[in-house]
Amino acid sequence: MSPRIGPGGVSHGAPRGRGRSRLLLRLVFLLAMAAAVVWGGGGLFGRSGDGGGSGEDGHPKPPPATGSDGSSSADPRPRGPASSTAGAPGASGLPRCVEGELTAEARDVIETITDGGEFEYPGKDGSTFGNREGLLPDESSGYYAEYTVPTPGEDDRGARRIVTGGDTTPTSPDTAPEHWYWTDDHYESFCEFSA
């Protein structure tokens, strides 16, 4: 069957049967896409039900943690070396760091904090830690300060930090912070210790 020619010699496309089939096929495709977005969490458009997408602060969420065997965990508790070997909960409710968990570099930074000394990253060390992850106890803005703990072999600040709470002005041993926290995975987990 040949295409129909309308007024003025304009073709009206495929015969009626095929046109309806194509229209029906397009409609089914669009409905399937809409169903995928609704039921699948929108994975085609950057959102998915696996924890991807943007966090509350608008930054992309990190991918789920994976173990050394490649398995992933949806466990919301702090993970990583700072908490995986930690002891009983401390006063904050966070696990206490176990003996030997703090590195030699961390002990050097603790000494620098308590002595009120000079830091490797003066624009960053001693600055306010915002606790955006919500893993430390809720306190007012400015309560926490963070300090870089150098990582051998890293050419930047690395992932290791000491976070202090309370009087965070390192001016003398008399004003030592009240609370001390260690993270070696860039705020993914913390353990508490005493200096």
DSSP 52-117: -SB-TTSSBPPPPPB-TTS-B----S--SHHHHT--SB-TTSSBBPPTT-S-HHHHHHHHHHHHT-
**Is 156 or 22 the better-scoring residue by pLDDT?**
156
User: Distance between CA 191 and CA 43 in Å, rounded?
Assistant: 35
Q: What confidence category does residue 35 fall into, taking pLDDT thresholds of 50, 70 and 90?
A: low
Query: What pLDDT does residue 99 have?
Result: 84
Q: What confidence category does residue 48 fall into, taking pLDDT thresholds of 50, 70 and 90?
A: very low
- Catalytic residue (choose from 99, 139, 146, 179): 146
Residues above pLDDT 90, as percent of the chain: 41
Active site residue 186: yes
pLDDT at 189 over 50: yes
Query: What pLDDT does residue 42 have?
Result: 43
Query: What pLDDT does residue 6 have?
Result: 56
78-195: CATH superfamily: Microbial ribonucleases (3.10.450.30)
Average pLDDT over residues 77-98: 65
User: Distance between CA 64 and CA 87 in Å, rounded?
Assistant: 24
Q: Which structure tokens are listed for 20?
A: 């309806």
Place of tokens 């050419």: 155
pLDDT at 49 over 60: no
Please name the residues in contact with 47: beta carbons below 8 A apart, sequence gap of 6 or more: 41, 53
Residues of the chain with CATH 3.10.450.30: 78-195
Average pLDDT over residues 43-47: 39
Contact 137, 93 (CB under 8 A): yes
Query: What pLDDT does residue 195 have?
Result: 85
Q: Which amino acid, residue 54?
A: S
Contact 106, 112 (CB under 8 A): no
- Catalytic residue (choose from 101, 105, 120, 186): 186
User: Distance between CA 34 and CA 2 in Å, rounded?
Assistant: 35
